[in-house]
Amino acid sequence: MTAPTAPDRLLSVLAAFDHEHPALCLTDISRRAGLSLTTAHRLVGALTEWGALERDESGVYHVGLRLWELAALAPRGLALRQIALPYLEDLYEATHQNVQLAVRDGRDVVYTEWLSGRSAVGVHIRVGARWPLHATGVGLALLAHGDPVFQKEYCEGDLASFTPYTITEPERLRRALAEVRRSGIAVSDRQVTQDALSVAAPVRGADGTVTAAVSIVVPHADAQVPVLVPAVRVAARGISRALGWQP
């Protein structure tokens, strides 16, 4: 087995932080990164000096603002969010339900924006959260328009289950993706929680490639998909045009 390189060890320190562990002491960082305490101390010191990490008065470390500054440069991150936000707000005002914007990263969907009201159905979503592509509306929209080779590999891979309604059979997933391409809309019904349904549409960049997806999540019991589809389509088309797409 190849020994970890210096960049590997540095990245392992940053990877120790996630949504469940946003604040860590040095010992926790050492343990989660798989590094000796001495090595972790040295790397954490370098990252803190640069601004990637910040240390509070109690000695606990958090992700630093320097990383936020870098993340803001990502074309699929803050820049996309700023362009999409007016359309997401319009969709929210029209429905007062959960409105989401997401991009694909590997086999996951990553949420870059989320708007929600107090009366909206509860969702396991926050900005930066990840979920497998096959289990969400935005994920299905992104996967359906992805590279065919990647689609084949994904369908043949492990399909995690979250509820009895989650798609876990490769052939069923292939049929669902074909329907998304035919209709231009993805519907994920009770796949993550048994009380929610999402309707999603793809967002295209200037070259016509699907770069993101927008969705609305509503209570399953009250879902009126034919009513939601036009609103989601309008939001997706508006964002796409703002990104330079010409139908």
What type of residue is 129?
Answer: A
Cα–Cα nearest to 186, from 198, 174, 169, 172: 198
Residue 1 pLDDT exceeds 60: no
Mean per-residue pLDDT for 55-81?
79
| Residue 100: strand pairing partners | 114, 215
User: Quick one: DSSP state of residue 18?
Assistant: B
For 57, 73, 81, 95, 231, the CA distances from 89, given in Å and listed in that order, are: 38, 23, 11, 10, 12
Determine the pLDDT at residue 18.
83
Percent of the chain predicted with pLDDT > 70: 91
| Residue 210: strand pairing partners | 204
Residue 237 pLDDT exceeds 60: yes
- pLDDT tens-digit map of 29-56: 999 999 999 999 999 999 999 999 999 9
Delineate the domains of the chain, giving CATH numbers in brackets. 6-70 (1.10.10.10), 74-243 (3.30.450.40)
Residue 69 pLDDT exceeds 90: no
Residue 183 pLDDT exceeds 90: yes
- pLDDT confidence band for 78 (50 / 70 / 90): low
Determine the pLDDT at residue 37.
93
Decide: residue 191, CB within 10 A, 0-12 exposed, 13-18 middle, 19+ buried.
buried
Mean per-residue pLDDT for 158-168?
95
Residue 115 pLDDT exceeds 60: yes
In angstroms, the CA 187 to CA 196 distance is 11
